[in-house]
A = this chain, B = another copy of it.
């Protein structure tokens, strides 16, 4: 890499110490106007750029925010992440930070996984999307007092910060909607049971079943791990039940869509023969036929709020713990 200009070089040419240059660079401490201008001119002339790594090592801050994405699916950047990531990025950049997205494989062995990038000050704070409940890294982050925010995850611990949605209420809303439409036998497609969202939604399903005095059938609860293909398969099994439900509520849109595909493949009409409702409102939801009725999560907003709180915690203007919930909204379309 040619022509590496360092702060020392700039200082030398300006006839000042590196500290003065540093002050100009960071707007820290007083510098005489003319000196500052001279230095700025030289910086421009030499096209000098501070070495971020050296700066991080020395100052222990990087002005970077990391976004951890649990890489479970093959194509992990889906519209769910796209919407949340967009919200985060907006806020973070507004406040002069940069964002970096880290896909990480969920191996429970490498305990270091992403503690090291924070400890090393590669990034100043972390936003973690849809963490697993048994993720050991989170506790390490907390123990190390690393600023972090969990998105779409819930854990009431005083050094855990999260922003989640009102899953219980949302699930009930969906159930009541189906009930109103005449459904009394409702199946539920659960996501990964190691995510609090899944757990909450499943629990709420059971509660709603009781509250609405619905028929209960264990076979109607299918586990598909937020995976479209798995939902496709589980829907097949569901159709084998002697006592067939008339509606499906799925824990996310991708599962709803997978299930719907299977139903249609087997010749059923949606929603006439079986209604289907999803969760999230990803881009695909409005494109499938019939378009998907779903419980909309305000994903972009989720990202924005997470970013705001994280940055405030880093700045020290917000104290831990942050435990927030955003509202959900039923989006009525044509699938149920």
Q: A interface vs B, CB < 8 Å?
A: 1-4, 47, 49-54, 56-57, 62, 71, 74-79, 81-83, 85-86, 89, 93, 98-103, 105, 111-112, 115-122, 143-146, 257, 283-284, 287-289, 300
- Least Cβ–Cβ distance between A40 and chain B, in angstroms: 14
Cβ contact within 8 Å between B116 and A52: yes
Chain B residues near A102 (CB-CB < 8 A): 98-101
- Minimal beta-carbon separation of A288 from chain B (angstroms): 5
Using Cβ atoms and an 8 Å threshold, which residues of chain B touch A89?
A: 71, 76, 103
CB-CB < 8 A to A51: which residues of B?
57, 119-121
| Complex interface: chain B residues within 8 A of A4 (CB) | 119
Q: What 9 pairs between A and B have smallest CB-CB spacing? A: A77-B82, A101-B101, A52-B120, A100-B100, A75-B82, A77-B77, A51-B120, A49-B116, A53-B120
Q: B287, A1: Cβ atoms under 8 Å?
A: no
Residues in B whose Cβ lies below 8 Å from that of A83 = 75
User: What are 27 sample pairs from A and B whose C-beta atoms fall under 8 A apart?
Assistant: A2-B143, A2-B145, A49-B120, A51-B120, A52-B116, A52-B117, A53-B120, A53-B121, A53-B122, A71-B89, A74-B86, A75-B79, A75-B86, A75-B300, A76-B85, A76-B89, A77-B78, A77-B79, A77-B81, A77-B82, A98-B102, A99-B102, A100-B100, A101-B101, A101-B102, A283-B284, A289-B289
Inter-chain contacts of A3 with B (CB < 8 A): 144
Q: A49-B112, A51-B119, A75-B82 are in contact. List 9 more A-B contacts (CB 8 A).
A: A49-B116, A51-B120, A76-B86, A76-B89, A77-B78, A77-B82, A122-B122, A257-B287, A289-B289
Contacts of A284 in B (CB 8 A): 283-284, 287
Question: Complex Cα distance A52/B57, Å?
Answer: 9
Contacts of A121 in B (CB 8 A): 51, 53
With CB as the reference atom, state the residue of chain B lying closest to A104: B98
> B57 to A54, Cβ gap below 8 A?
yes
User: In the bound complex, how far is the Cα of B100 from the Cα of A89, in angstroms?
Assistant: 14
Which of B54, B93, B98 is close to A120, meaning CB atoms less than 8 Å apart?
B54
Please name all residues of chain B whose beta carbon is closer than 8 Å to the beta carbon of A2 when the two chains form the complex.
143-145
Q: From A117, which residue of chain B is reached at the shortest CB distance?
A: B52
- A83 CA / B71 CA spacing, docked (Å): 13
Contact A119 B54 (CB under 8 A): no
The listed residue (B50, B57, B93, B119) touching A1 by CB distance below 8 A is: B119
- Give the complex CA separation of A85 and B50 in angstroms: 29
Task: Give, as a whole number of angstroms, the nearest-CB distance from A148 to chain B.
Answer: 12
| Shortest Cβ distance from residue A109 to the other chain B in the assembled complex, whole angstroms | 13
Bound Cα distance A72, B86 (Å): 11
